[in-house]
Amino acid sequence: MNGMLPVVALGKVDLRYFLELRTILDADMVALAATRAEPGQLDQTNQCITRHEQCGEDSLKAAACDLESHYLVAEATQNPFLTQLYVIFKDTFRFALHDIVSTMGIEHALYYYRKLLAAFQSHNAAEARTVMQAHIQDTVNCFQTERGTAEDE
C-alpha cells in the first residue's frame, strides 16, 4: 500500500492516466462481471442506476453514484482484488469521475450503464466488453475535444 500513496496523494488526477487505466481494466472487468453477476447484484446495480437518474445536475452526487456503479461491477466479478482496487483508490476515482461528470453530464454514463445492465442480465460478456469500450472511447474523445490531447501541457 505504501507504494500507492504518491498516486493517492496527488490530489489532482491527470485524466489521461485515469482513462488509460480504465481502458486497460474496465472492459475485461465488465466481461467477467457479466458471466458472474448474481441476481442480487443485478438488483443493486439497477437501484444504483435509479439513484443516478435522480441526481439531476448535482455532479457530486452523480460522481458518487458513478463510483458506486464501478464498485458494484467489481463486486460482481467475485474477484476480491478487483473490488479492493476501488476501495484503495476510492478518493482518486471519485475525483476523476467528478471531473468527467462535470464535463459530460450524467446522461452519457446512464446510457452506457443501462446497456451494461442488459448485458449483465443476459450474461453476455462480449456485449458488456463492447459497451464498456465504447463508453470509455466516448469519454476519451470528449476530453480530447474539450481539453486537447495533453491535459497539463
CA nearest neighbour of 45 among 70, 82, 81, 77: 70
The whole-number pLDDT of residue 13 equals: 62
pTM of the model: 0.85
The whole-number pLDDT of residue 10 equals: 45
Low-confidence ranges of the chain (pLDDT < 70): 1-13, 147-153
The whole-number pLDDT of residue 86 equals: 87
The whole-number pLDDT of residue 15 equals: 85
